[in-house]
Amino acid sequence: GTDDEGVMRLKVYYAESLGEGRWSEAQSLPFNSDEYSVAHPALSPDGERLYFASDMPGGFGGMDLYVSEKEHGRWGPPLNLGPEVNTEGHEIFPFVAADGRLYFASDGHIGLGGLDIFYTKEISPGVYATPENLGYPINTFADDFSIVFNEEGTCGFFASDRAGGAGGDDLYSFKKLSVPVEILVFDANTQEPLAEAKVQLGCKSLTLTTDAEGRAFYDMKVNSCCVFTASFPDYDDNALEACTNNLIPGTPTTLKIPLTRTAEFELEGIVFDDGTGLPLENVVVTLENDCGQPLAEPITTPSSGRYYFKLDRECCYKVKAEKQGYLAAWQENICTRGVEETTTFRANLHLQPHTIDLSQVTPENVPPIGGEGNEYTYYDPVTQLWINKADGTPADGEFPDGRKYVKGVLQDGFAPGGVALSDTSSAKQPLPYLLHIYYDFDEASIREDAIPELEKLYKTMIENPDIIVEIGSHTDARGGSYYNLRLSQRRAESVVRWLTKRGIPRNRLVPRGYGETVPVNNCVNNVPCSERDHQLNRRTEFKVVGCISCIDPAKALISRQPEEVKVDECKACPF
């Protein structure tokens, strides 16, 4: 037909075979028109789709590719294949191979010159992968078009006006010397295919996209290898190699690439003041790892005491919290190794104050140190009550030392250790921490059961490299006072020796023996006590008494050489 301007327009017709070489009368397709051309029809292998080229209105350029689906025996309205396939130029001569690939010629996509042959594949309904150029020797600087394959896809024909032919457009045959590789990308856990996954080829600058069944296709040369890297949102990339060694050309092979969902790892927690039990702000929280990753930026806690870090896969971490006036707290062996699912690790850290400000303390805001006591009462850290030593019940009423209790609660006017709050001549006092290091009667040597406690102290010294601690040792009341004082000093020095052998500098350790002067119970001279009560008094404590950075080196020198030294000459000396 011709349009209003007399231009000849192409149309597509169909006829049915009546057998014995006879055909029915040709029928025009419903979307033919005198106003535009419809040309180059190509049926899908199942006959349910008709692809063709047309310059009908609404396209993207010159001739575009369209598809019509058969509906109840009739061809439905044509659908443009979209901008991934069609360009401002011409897309013509479609052909659908048995493997589902759509081949066509185009002068709009980047090619070698003129018309080049490309292929694409529908990856989901109405969505097509980026077309791929077949390359040389199929394509040349001339026009190459109208490719067709046999049913097996191993050979075919195409037309070209390249130099060396018999005339204008010549027919050429070809045979594929390649192996069709089917790449299947799927979820490693559910085995479900992943549609629209990207597959990057290591042997060629090419990226494939999987279809609705998680498949992508690529023709590999025989006796070659290529690495295929699959990626998909929220999944970890996976790369596998495929080789075609000793395979017969045209023999299909499959490469299965499982992908695992990306696991997200987080670490969160709250830093508490172990004295008040409340969240602690302005704490510096740091994170270390054993996998060589860059260290995360330290976090300073807000008033909520909270901190948060992102963690990497296959790493073990140590989180540490530090604040002036507190012993550092840490937690180790926070590991993501072998963890496959998203996990949030939680580590609350408790900072122990190593000094107490008596001017700020009330019995309500600072709990007592476990094991503290006096002549009449002692503090039970389990029940958090003061206990009457006489009958073992919660202390109640006023005691001879002036302390007042209500059902085990120390009333206003006294600090947790029993020190009157009005006594602030030395506002900041070191807090002692009990080491469960006990000694045999009349011995100063370290027992085996003390090693775990010493290891804790050693670790505390390592994690707090600036502190100076006093190692205070105590005896029971048996034996002479002077002897017990010397015995406790030897016990403190034995702990110091153990620590210095492990590498703790001697200038950070102050051994001090208290003898029998600071009992934790009522086992004083001439008071009958059980062996267990005596054992509790034979103990060692440590407390922070200073810091290395606090010492002025100039003042640390016991003696300084004067600038001018008087020299007394020895006249009788031979040299």
pLDDT over threshold 80, residue 6: no
Does residue 248 sit in the same domain as residue 271? no
* Residue 411 burial (C-beta neighbours within 10 Å; 0-12, 13-18, 19+): exposed
Domain that holds residue 271: 265-353
Does residue 470 sit in the same domain as residue 548? yes
Domain presence at residue 79: yes
Does residue 162 sit in the same domain as residue 17? yes
For range 528-545, the mean pLDDT: 85
Q: Count of CB atoms within 10 A of residue 549's CB?
A: 8
Identify each DSSP E strand in 79-137 by its residue range. 79-80, 91-96, 102-106, 116-120, 122-124, 127-128, 132-133
For range 526-539, the mean pLDDT: 86
- The domain boundary, picked from 259, 290, 322, lies at 259
Does residue 227 sit in the same domain as residue 95? no
Task: Give pLDDT, residue 123.
Answer: 80
SS3 390: coil
Of 17-26, 69-78, 237-246, 430-439, the least confident: 430-439
pLDDT tens for each residue of 364-422: 444 444 345 567 776 665 455 677 777 767 788 888 877 888 777 777 544 444 433 33
User: Which residue in 273, 276, 272, 271 sits closest to 366, CA to CA?
Assistant: 276
pLDDT tens for each residue of 62-94: 999 999 999 888 899 999 999 999 999 999 999
Does residue 383 sit in the same domain as residue 467? no
- CATH number of the domain encompassing residue 345: 2.60.40.1120
- The domain boundary, picked from 138, 161, 176, lies at 176
pLDDT tens for each residue of 142-201: 999 999 999 888 889 999 999 988 888 999 999 888 888 999 999 998 999 999 999 999
Q: Which helix (H) or strand (E) holds 488?
A: helix 481-501
pLDDT tens for each residue of 449-489: 888 889 989 998 999 998 888 898 988 888 888 898 999 99
pLDDT over threshold 50, residue 47: yes
pLDDT over threshold 90, residue 140: yes
Structural domains of the chain, count: 5
- Residues 156, 161, 165, 168, Cα dihedral to 10°: 120
Domain presence at residue 550: yes
For range 257-278, the mean pLDDT: 89
Does residue 28 sit in the same domain as residue 171? yes
Which tokens belong to 318? Answer: 């140590």
Phi (first) and psi of residue 187, to 5 degrees: -75, 125
pLDDT tens for each residue of 289-336: 998 888 889 999 999 899 999 998 889 999 999 998 888 999 999 999
pLDDT over threshold 90, residue 568: no
Distance CA 181, CA 570 (A): 102
Task: Give pLDDT, residue 575.
Answer: 45
Does residue 163 sit in the same domain as residue 198? no
Does residue 456 sit in the same domain as residue 512? yes
Distance CA 10, CA 34 (A): 8
Does residue 116 sit in the same domain as residue 215? no
Q: How far is CA 326 from CA 111, 366, 430, 552, in A?
A: 71, 14, 11, 21
Query: Whole-number mean pLDDT of the chain?
Result: 84
Does residue 184 sit in the same domain as residue 309? no
Task: Give pLDDT, residue 368.
Answer: 45
- The domain boundary, picked from 176, 202, 228, lies at 176
User: In this predicted model, which residue has the larger pLDDT, 380 or 43?
Assistant: 43
Does residue 183 sit in the same domain as residue 172? no
- CATH number of the domain encompassing residue 520: 3.30.1330.60
For 99, residues 6+ apart whose C-beta sits below 8 A from its C-beta are: 153, 180, 217
Does residue 240 sit in the same domain as residue 226? yes
